[in-house]
């Protein structure tokens, strides 16, 4: 094994740091000699090998997913709590509500420290009225397991929408008062936390070793929450020129008064979840992954305990609902005379499959979502793997949404049902990897608003990876107040865009990235739509059917302060998966 060390010295008052990584520096050409004879090698990868995730270079995504991507999803065998056992009393296919019986099995597993809650083949009716309960997991190591996600497997049938209530931006309030928690299954961890230590020296992007006041309250392998606070934001009188953290994470985008939430109270505190990899000495720790942005002491960075839940699994299930269809994005369903049958809130948010908040190291695998308007919401959670999922049936709002969550892996998701936002990142989501997903439809439905979108929804989600996607392009949403759509250094790698790109109107043309708010860009025209994705990487973007894809009206490779473009309209990239290679080289 060839090992190298890249090191750097921080500015005055900062600590010296070194990061150990495997490299291909001496062996780049031999290692890829066969591949590069036929395919092209991105120069950004070579720069990453030399420098790591420093400066404005390519981010590190090697630790995404369950167990930081280093462990396979476990096969838990015991103890087993069969929901049809006389102790619990669920009866599949009888048309009677089974919510309380299944919940009793979940609670029984929790009482002994965890286990498998097993649902044999058949249909189980849950949440049959707005007033009836929904399934909740609130303890560690609970695995909710069915007997397959097909029609002849195990179905959880949600008979009524969740309770109407205030819909707030993800992560801005406790899960206990967020209406979207009323889903078929809710995973809710504790949100209380205690301060463990504070940073004592500045940290630069790419640094893993952190100097703190005291390491006495840490243990190796421990999950913690790190938080920074913006010293400039005045929550009472926010102003675009008085925002330090939002400024760093959206540069070179120029914030204006209309983006009031981007530099307001919702963005004043930025937190994320990480692990303690090593306690080096009484005042130094090493985190499990590098810092994603500069964290000077003026941000008062602190480390807190993480008191959520871990080890939750949801697998081999079909989650279906009584949603009858007729979806309209952010609009009610009305009869011909204008009478409202279903409110916009119900249509957008209240036919939900799975809600997850304050949870780490969990998984959802082999789950089909049928006739759901909202699939999975992952909030303030980290190191989840969501894999082998399918969305079918009626049109709806969103598939997988990650808000204020980091280092999660979404892999192999098939979208057959038309959705407005198949995959959404929002609210400072970072380090998430979306890979090997495919849409089975093309073009925007102008009535329902559904499309094949990779969506960024505001409050600067940054340093996320989309790769090996088929049939997607970037067509983001979000209120004007939370824009730009995305933060810095999001990566789009080896993506096949759809042949049909409808986008935001006639001006959209063949552009891979789109925004409805081009008026806030420097030219105030569609030509600068890309400014809503500052410092982004577009590597190996191509399109179905031999159609050309463009960025800023051009098909040329380039590197500017706004973007790095390599291999546009060239599908023959030598590194099909950045995530897999980074994971391999980090070991």
Alpha helices in 75-177 (DSSP H): 99-111
User: Regarding beta strands 269-281 and 284-287, do their DSSP bridges make them parallel or antiparallel, or are they unpaired?
Assistant: antiparallel
pLDDT for res 38: 79
Interval 82-119: pLDDT, tens? 999 999 999 999 999 999 999 999 999 999 999 999 99
pLDDT for res 30: 41
At residue 280, the 3 state secondary structure works out as: strand
The span from the CA of 550 to the CA of 538, in Å, is 11
In the chain, which stretches have pLDDT less than 70? 1-37, 506-507
The span from the CA of 72 to the CA of 75, in Å, is 9
The span from the CA of 434 to the CA of 454, in Å, is 10
pLDDT for res 434: 98
Comparing CA positions, the residue from 170, 269, 205 lying closest to residue 488 is 205
Comparing CA positions, the residue from 542, 402, 393 lying closest to residue 473 is 542
Task: For residue 193, give Cα distances in angstroms to 40, 79, 228, 417.
Answer: 48, 30, 15, 39
Q: What are phi and psi of 314, to 5 degrees?
A: -130, 120
pLDDT for res 168: 87
Length of the chain (residues): 587
State which H helix or E strand residue 137 sits in. Answer: strand 135-137
pLDDT for res 37: 56
Q: What is the DSSP string of 537-574?
A: EEEEEEEGGG---BBTTB-S-EE-SSEEEESTT---BS
pLDDT for res 24: 37
User: Regarding beta strands 3-9 and 195-198, do their DSSP bridges make them parallel or antiparallel, or are they unpaired?
Assistant: unpaired
CA trace torsion 337, 339, 345, 350 (10° rounding): -110
Comparing CA positions, the residue from 447, 450, 362, 357 lying closest to residue 399 is 450
State which H helix or E strand residue 36 sits in. Answer: helix 33-36
Interval 238-290: pLDDT, tens? 999 999 999 999 999 999 999 999 999 999 999 999 999 999 999 999 999 99
């Amino acid at each position: 094994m060839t090992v190298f060390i890249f090191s750097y010295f921080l500015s005055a008052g900062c600590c010296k740091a070194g990061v150990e990584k495997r490299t291909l520096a001496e062996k780049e050409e031999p290692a890829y000699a066969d591949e590069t004879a036929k395919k092209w090698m991105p120069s950004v990868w070579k720069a990453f090998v030399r420098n790591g995730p420093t400066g404005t270079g390519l981010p590190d995504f090697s630790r995404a997913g369950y167990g930081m991507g280093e462990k396979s999803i476990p096969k838990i065998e015991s103890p087993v709590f069969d929901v049809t056992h006389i102790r619990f009393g669920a009866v599949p296919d009888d048309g009677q509500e089974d919510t309380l019986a299944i919940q009793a099995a979940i609670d029984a597993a929790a009482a002994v420290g965890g286990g498998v809650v097993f649902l044999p083949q058949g249909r189980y009716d849950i949440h049959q009225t707005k007033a009836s309960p929904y399934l909740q997991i609130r303890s560690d190591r609970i695995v909710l397991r069915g007997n397959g996600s097909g029609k002849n497997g195990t179905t959880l049938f949600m008979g009524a929408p969740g309770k109407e209530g205030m819909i707030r931006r993800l992560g801005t309030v406790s899960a206990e008062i967020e209406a979207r928690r009323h889903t078929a299954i809710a995973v809710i961890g504790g949100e209380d936390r205690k301060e463990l230590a504070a940073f004592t020296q500045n940290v630069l992007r790419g640094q893993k070793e952190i100097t703190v006041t005291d390491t006495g309250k840490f243990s190796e392998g421990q999950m913690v929450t790190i938080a920074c606070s913006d010293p400039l934001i005045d929550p009472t009188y926010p102003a675009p020129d008085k925002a330090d953290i939002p400024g760093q994470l959206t540069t070179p985008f120029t914030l204006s008064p209309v983006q009031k939430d981007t530099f307001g109270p919702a963005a004043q505190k930025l937190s994320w979840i990480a692990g303690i990899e090593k306690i080096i000495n009484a005042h130094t720790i090493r985190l499990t992954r590098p810092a994603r942005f500069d964290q000077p002491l003026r941000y008062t960075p602190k480390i807190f305990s993480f008191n959520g839940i871990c080890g939750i699994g949801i697998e081999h299930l079909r989650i279906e609902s009584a949603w009858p269809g007729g979806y309209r994005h952010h609009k009610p369903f009305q009869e011909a005379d204008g009478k409202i049958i279903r409110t916009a809130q119900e249509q957008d948010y209240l036919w939900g499959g799975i809600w997850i908040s304050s949870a780490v190291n969990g998984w959802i695998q082999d789950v089909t979502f049928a006739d759901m308007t909202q699939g999975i919401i992952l909030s303030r959670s980290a190191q989840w793997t969501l894999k082998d999922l399918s969305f079918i049936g009626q049109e709806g709002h969103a598939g997988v949404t990650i808000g204020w969550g980091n280092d999660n892996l979404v892999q192999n998701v098939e979208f057959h049902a038309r959705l407005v936002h198949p995959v959404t990142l929002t609210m400072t989501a970072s380090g998430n990897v979306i890979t090997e997903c495919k849409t089975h439809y093309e073009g925007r439905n102008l009535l329902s608003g559904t499309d094949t979108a990779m969506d960024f929804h505001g409050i600067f989600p940054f340093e996320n990876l989309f790769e090996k996607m088929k049939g997607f392009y970037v067509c983001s949403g979000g209120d004007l107040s939370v824009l730009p759509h995305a933060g810095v250094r999001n990566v789009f790698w080896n993506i096949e865009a759809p042949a049909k790109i409808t986008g935001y109107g006639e001006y959209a043309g063949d552009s891979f990235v789109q925004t409805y708010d081009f008026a806030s860009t420097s030219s105030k025209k569609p030509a600068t739509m890309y400014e809503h994705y500052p410092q982004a990487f577009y590597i190996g973007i191509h399109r179905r059917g031999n159609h050309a894809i463009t960025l800023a009206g051009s098909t040329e490779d380039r590197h500017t302060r706004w973007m790095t473009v390599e291999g546009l309209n060239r599908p023959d990239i030598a590194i099909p998966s950045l995530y897999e290679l980074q994971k391999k080289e980090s070991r």
